[in-house]
Structure 1
Amino acid sequence: MEDDLWPRVERLRHWLDTHAAPELAGDVRLWRVLKISEEVGEVAEAMHGAMGANPRKGASHTWDDVHTELCDVIVTSMMALATCTPDAASVLDARLRHLIDRVPGA
């Protein structure tokens, strides 16, 4: 699965590029990065619901909802990165290596 991860992200990105609303034309990087914030908000909503933190709503979400929303954050972030650089896979790999190198014993 890992080998075809970025090609699948690129397919989604291409679809979005060809189906974007005309009023969003221009620097699409801005919209892709802002979309991450929207998805993070949906994770927060799902967490509140899974934990029953809102007494008015109670347990309105499941942990599966949280997992799904976290995946949406990851995919949305990957699409934003792929929109900002044609070398997204290498950029992510380099950053992950840097973070791992900073952890003692990793």
Structure 2
Amino acid sequence: MSEQTDAPDSPDAPHSLDSPDGLWRSITLLHAWLEADQPYGGREGLLLRMLKLQEEVGEVAQAVIGATGQNPRKGTTHTWDDVRSELCDVVVTALVALRTLTPDAREVFADHLAAVTERSLGSRRG
């Protein structure tokens, strides 16, 4: 019988992003990967990690402009699939940035999302 290499804690284990556990496991792995090979550490590394989020947001703007053909010199250069992909990059980058600020990122995010939901929807939630 062959040894199984896809144990749940193995970095090579397949995991489903359909669950919060899979999402946060991926964020933890990405954070660890970035921390292991960053050229700048300390406060400078932290600030650069936060600036990465702004870069990704700019790529969303570029993709929207490209998908709508708003730059007459370039025309239509992107698709709405590109916009969706860039938005996903923003979400991943934001979650990794949050994880950089706190090892309790999952709980911090869940609490914040609950507060925003309550503030925005209040008793209208069904």
Q: TM-score, normalised by structure 1?
A: 0.93
Letter in 1 for 2:42: G
> Residue 37 of structure 2: which of 5, 9, 19 is its match?
19
**Which structure has the larger Rg?**
2
| Structure 2: gaps spanning 5 or more residues | 1-17
Q: How many residue pairs end up in the alignment?
A: 104
After superposition, what is the alpha-carbon deviation per residue over 1:55-97, rounded to whole angstroms, capped at 9, x for unaligned? 0010000111100100000000000000001100001000110
After superposition, what is the alpha-carbon deviation per residue over 1:14-48, rounded to whole angstroms, capped at 9, x for unaligned? 11111112xx1222321111110000000000000
> Residue 55 of structure 1: which of 45, 53, 72 is its match?
72
RMSD: 1.0
Determine the structure 1 residue equivalent to 2:99. Answer: 82
| Structure 1: gaps spanning 5 or more residues | none
Higher RCO by CA contacts (8 Å cutoff, separation 6 or greater): 1
Letter in 1 for 2:41: A
Identity of aligned residues (%): 48
Q: TM-score, normalised by structure 2?
A: 0.79
Determine the structure 2 residue equivalent to 1:6. Answer: 24
